[in-house]
Structure 1
Amino acid sequence: MTGHAVKPEPLVTIDGVAKRFGGRMALDGLSAVVMPGRVTGLVGPDGAGKTTLIRLIAGLLKPSAGAVTVCGFDSIADGEDVRGVVGYMPQRFGLYEDLTVAENLTLHADLRAVTGGDRAAAFQRLLGFTGLEPFRGRLAGALSGGMKQKLGLACTLIRPPRLLLLDEPSVGVDPLSRRELWRMVYELVDQGIGVLWSTAYLDEAERCQSVMLLNEGRLLHSGDPTDLTRRMEGRSFVMRGLDTAGKRGALAEAQKRPDVVDALIQGRSLRLVMREGASAPVGAGAVEPVRPRFEDAFVSLLRTSGGDHAATGVVPSITATAPAADEGGFPVEAVDLTRRFGDFTAVDRVSFMVRRAEIFGLLGPNGAGKSTTFKMLCGLLPMTSGTARLAGISLAHAPALARARLGYMSQKFSLYPDLSVRQNLDFFAGAYGLAGGVRRAAVARMIDGFGLRPFVGSDAGELPLGFKQRLALACAIMHEPAILFLDEPTSGVDPLTRREFWAHINAMAGQGVTVLVTTHFMDEAEYCDRVGIVYRGAIIAMDSPDALKESARDAGLPDPTLEDAFIRLIERHDRARETA
């Protein structure tokens, strides 16, 4: 049989696997393989069954039906053998934040019985591989989000596995750190390690050599992601040349049309994906066909598979009327905003103003100072120096009055998990001073507007992630604030829920609410009217998304994405500092 390459054996064989938790079917009859020497993407919305499948492969759960074979071992009968060949990094990796980088590595080396010279060699290899050598004495709790993920990966690789399971490793990680994670993972693939990477980031799915697309426990597609993308030829369009009001109006109209599968704002443009067989869209701007993306195929498949929890993108109407007192001025003003923690300057003389009904985004790497800036503007953290005004009211002179004009949704779920949905809404209504009929009407409006009625008696902590985010936003806006602060509001949320979430935000901006948002999703930043790039505590660039992309355009990058612009601006800033 000379001249014929030997086809490698699968690392994982999933044969008719089902998993039931009580009355809920988490996985339903899955059959697929994971091959060695490649990255296989495990893609699907919140609750699709991704984590359940990974835990079955790792031998941590027993299937209700079917079988999982890992490197020739049965995942249950040969559990010890499976754990010897698999490295598993769960969503919430168990780093000890009060231990240093080196101490965390030492603990995991002890657990995996890596000793003596092997341990010293592993530490040298992993600290160099992840770039953590200069930080080996730093507490894990003091690392940025991206550095924590790198340390988590290093701990998982103390003993090199044949199969690496990564459960959404880049959630909440900035684009620079995400690129570093991908670089490291492909170095591992070059060494022959197979990787299963679970993700809700659709641009990451395009980087995988194979994908498994899950929805509601069923496998919708398995294979090369380009096979799925090719099916979308002739269905993706961009409507260009829209102003702020025009793009929001066009988005609202598109979301009502049955022939539109997906609609996304991209700077001054609107990206549209049409149903199969539909004619090209017609609108206020110039319409032109564009190359389809995996995201187009992903959303189209979910919305035609019978399991779409966001229907065609239409969401219930949420009314929010901003008070007219701030018309003619700037609802948000920050002048030389500075915050120091001891000798460390987290925010360094940040200044910007946000217009009424504007969506203003703050982007930056982990630890850049975005959340610190937000907390100062919300009155949750005192300023070291500088001034801030909300709706014309000084935070220094009347903080309570200023805070009454804003709604705030924090980066981490901040509701009361042991209270029901209705009890959380009632509590926040009381905290905002709503009483009597006004309070009852506000609670009812939020329940109906965000589709929470089936969950009104459920504890908030038991809600699916997407519904937790709905509830958090409802609690933030029920008093109809003039200003809305959203700190990474959709981190970890699936793409359909993010679209629904942004439909609410755009509707509120259209009704006069001023919105400030931090995000790691570059497509979310495209929704913003203006974006400020925050790096090392300072704003290094501020403009519209289209203008920022234009600043990165050159012969080598003729059609830059916002992520390209983000990274180039940071690289230019670093080079300027080095030569100064």
Structure 2
Amino acid sequence: MSEDFVRIEGVSKAFGSGAPALDQISAAIKGGEITGLVGPDGAGKTTLIRLMTGLLLPDAGTLTVLGFDTRREAARIQAAIGYMPQRFGLYEDLSVQENLDLYADLRGLPQVERAQVFDELLSFTDLKRFTQRLAGKLSGGMKQKLGLACALLKKPRLLLLDEPGVGVDPISRRELWKMVKDLTSEGIGVVWSTAYLDEAEACTSVLLLNQGKLLFTGPPAELTRRVDGRVFKVTGIEGRRRPLLASLLDRPGVLDGVIQGEAIRIVTEPGARQDVLREGEGTKVNPAPPRFEDAFVDLLGGGPGGRSKLAEATQTQADADTHVIEARGLTKRFGDFTAAQDITFDIKRGEIFGLLGPNGAGKSTTFKMLCGLLKPTAGEGRVAGFDLRRDTAEARNRLGYMAQKFSLYGDLSVAQNLDFFAGVYGLKGQHRRDKIKLVTDIFDFARYANQSAKDLPLGHKQRLALACAVMHEPEALFLDEPTSGVDPITRREFWTHINGLVEKGVTILVTTHFMDEAEYCDRISLIFRGKSIALGSPDELKARVASADNPDPTMEDAFIALVEGSEKEAA
């Protein structure tokens, strides 16, 4: 049996006079295993990891790491562990090799060992080809690999990873996961904080936190069993799925629900009758295998329901068959490098269209050309009939944009950001005041009105960014990884709003690394090496890669298989 690498006994930590970030936590973390640290935004995951590093000290209780007490022996702990913080902690203006050299100096790695250690880590992370590239020029997945390499310079006994998969595509996440799993075979203990519940499901054990309290500790399968017999797949749906999902979520006995391609996946409350899900003659309701995410949402009391006050307050757009977003041969070159080549598609009013692809594939470049932030080298883009080259101002007034990284003004308060963006979008007088009050009420901003935007929890930052993007009721909404890093409950809230807006005729262009979110899309364009390699509905893309070995592939399976197939064709 593995020994306890970390012992947490009655640990509490508070910041200021509010509720504690951690409240009487007791748990153990073993060596040679991956322990998932799971919980909603603000649950206390980062605080607990920083306590393990000795960078923070508990207000109460004791915490020992590798036998050392964090209060008295923090330096000895820091010499024996590897730590990868949530935000990219390396120097973006240094190359890959220069970052390795710097961290080798900081970690006291002897000169005689460096050549061999560097060679092993660069091979392990597949970064040998990129040693001279600036860290700031790396893709999200490559940045995470470099961060992992720096954390492993002096092979630690315990590796602490704070959300290493955030903003990383499915292929890079699988590669990171395999690397970390290989480390556990050498006896290294790993703590992996995550917002991706498929990652949590693959951990040996998990610690599930919510509002500073430990709700569950143990193997993921043990928690998943709590929803056995309560998960169903609704198929054979006639008409649009989104209104049906909203209706089902508001029915008695329905706890949670998500769209899954042409089907809907539902979690019911204990004792709920299955016939509550029946809808029309052709609809079929069949049991589905439970997932860790189902049990997680169940433990937290269920999802946010199917009602979107934001959508209810939005006027219905007409002309359902109109193409609102159009890409015609869009191409963008940076010097000799072609970031996007001949991208072509149309998006109808009231459609969700997904741009998927690995980090660095060209999807963000395509996205930015279509919302007027990048001028294409060739081709054209149109929004609501306006050409983005000639009618830039008119096109931008018809769209709302939510950036991948928090792009509002951090030093302005919540109220000041709302007022500023209302002005940017041309809202005036009483109409402007009414819109600000409306989104303040919908997103519960009143208690944060005077707080600086940069100090908000991540979920509230994302809500504020969405509110600023929709105040002027745009025809097209551009969402660049809108839920990256937020917890499943907040993600469901976002998609309730998105689904509701689409039913009012708003057109959505979205990028995401959450493959379960891709299932909400009506159609998807998969971008790889600057080109669109697949275009179709989620079910069509999954059907393309189905095989005798995997007759019912997931969206992640489809993503990886299509990218790998394209690589083989190009080789």
TM-score by length of 1: 0.96
Residues 1:354 and 2:352 aligned together: no
- How much does 1:536 deviate? 0.6
Matching residue of 1:14: 8
Matching residue of 1:3: none
Gaps of 5+ in 2: none
Residues 1:228 and 2:223 aligned together: yes
Structure 2 counterpart of 1:576, which letter? Answer: E
- How much does 1:454 deviate? 2.1
- How much does 1:323 deviate? 4.6
For the residue of structure 2 that corresponds to 1:303, the secondary structure is coil
Residues 1:439 and 2:432 aligned together: yes
Matching residue of 1:307: none
What is the aligned counterpart of 2:532 among 525, 534, 539? 539
What is the aligned counterpart of 1:262 among 256, 260, 280? 256
- How much does 1:313 deviate? 5.7
Q: Distance in 1 between matches of 2:85 and 2:252?
A: 39
| Contact 2:480–2:511 (8 Å) recurs in 1 | yes
Matching residue of 1:89: 84
For the residue of structure 1 that corresponds to 2:497, the secondary structure is helix
Residues 1:424 and 2:417 aligned together: yes
For the residue of structure 2 that corresponds to 1:11, the secondary structure is strand
Matching residue of 1:32: 27
Matching residue of 1:332: 325
What is the aligned counterpart of 1:295 among 293, 296, 301? 293
| Contact 2:248–2:277 (8 Å) recurs in 1 | no
Shifted more, 168-177 versus 401-410: the winner is: 401-410
- How much does 1:258 deviate? 3.9
- How much does 1:393 deviate? 1.4
Q: Distance in 1 between matches of 2:144 and 2:382?
A: 36
Shifted more, 17-26 versus 177-186: the winner is: 17-26
Structure 2 counterpart of 1:301, which letter? Answer: L
Matching residue of 1:279: 273
Residue by residue over 1:66-115, the C-alpha shift from the partner in whole angstroms, topping out at 9 and shown as x without a partner, is: 00011111012111111121111110132111111111000000001112
- How much does 1:253 deviate? 1.0
Residues 1:237 and 2:208 aligned together: no
| Contact 2:41–2:487 (8 Å) recurs in 1 | yes
- How much does 1:311 deviate? 4.5
Assess, with a 3 A threshold, how the Cα gap between structure 1 residues 313 and 90 changes in structure 2: closer, same or farther.
farther
Matching residue of 1:61: 56
Residues 1:453 and 2:451 aligned together: no
Structure 2 counterpart of 1:510, which letter? Answer: E
Assess, with a 3 A threshold, how the Cα gap between structure 1 residues 241 and 402 changes in structure 2: closer, same or farther.
same
Residues 1:408 and 2:401 aligned together: yes
| Contact 1:86–1:161 (8 Å) recurs in 2 | yes
Structure 1 counterpart of 2:17, which letter? Answer: G
Shifted more, 514-523 versus 18-27: the winner is: 18-27
Residue by residue over 1:525-566, the C-alpha shift from the partner in whole angstroms, topping out at 9 and shown as x without a partner, is: 001011110101111001100111111110111210000000
Matching residue of 2:240: 246
Q: Distance in 2 between matches of 1:283 and 1:451?
A: 34
What is the aligned counterpart of 1:150 among 142, 145, 151? 145
Structure 2 counterpart of 1:43, which letter? Answer: V
Residues 45-194 of structure 1: matches in 2 within 5 Å?
Answer: 45-194=40-189
Structure 1 counterpart of 2:285, which letter? Answer: V
Residue by residue over 1:329-376, the C-alpha shift from the partner in whole angstroms, topping out at 9 and shown as x without a partner, is: 311110100000000000011000001100000000001111111111
Structure 1 runs (4+) greater than 6 angstroms displaced: none
TM-score by length of 2: 0.97
| Contact 1:262–1:313 (8 Å) recurs in 2 | no
For the residue of structure 2 that corresponds to 1:564, the secondary structure is helix
| Contact 1:258–1:312 (8 Å) recurs in 2 | no
- How much does 1:321 deviate? 2.8
Residues 394-543 of structure 1: matches in 2 within 5 Å?
Answer: 394-543=387-536
| Contact 2:308–2:500 (8 Å) recurs in 1 | no
Q: Distance in 2 between matches of 1:556 and 1:232?
A: 28
Structure 1 counterpart of 2:410, which letter? Answer: P
Assess, with a 3 A threshold, how the Cα gap between structure 1 residues 327 and 278 changes in structure 2: closer, same or farther.
closer
Structure 2 counterpart of 1:265, which letter? Answer: I
Residues 1:373 and 2:371 aligned together: no
Q: Distance in 2 between matches of 1:435 and 1:150?
A: 48
Assess, with a 3 A threshold, how the Cα gap between structure 1 residues 314 and 512 changes in structure 2: closer, same or farther.
closer
- Count the aligned residue pairs: 565
Q: Distance in 1 between matches of 2:316 and 2:307?
A: 23
Shifted more, 500-509 versus 8-17: the winner is: 8-17
| Contact 1:320–1:477 (8 Å) recurs in 2 | no
- How much does 1:312 deviate? 4.5
| Contact 2:370–2:381 (8 Å) recurs in 1 | yes
Root mean square deviation of aligned Cα:
1.3
Matching residue of 1:393: 386
Shifted more, 28-37 versus 418-427: the winner is: 418-427
- Counting aligned pairs with the same residue, the percent is 59
For the residue of structure 2 that corresponds to 1:107, the secondary structure is helix
Shifted more, 204-213 versus 397-406: the winner is: 397-406
Assess, with a 3 A threshold, how the Cα gap between structure 1 residues 83 and 313 changes in structure 2: closer, same or farther.
farther
- How much does 1:282 deviate? 2.3
For the residue of structure 2 that corresponds to 1:434, the secondary structure is coil
Q: Distance in 2 between matches of 1:242 and 1:138?
A: 50
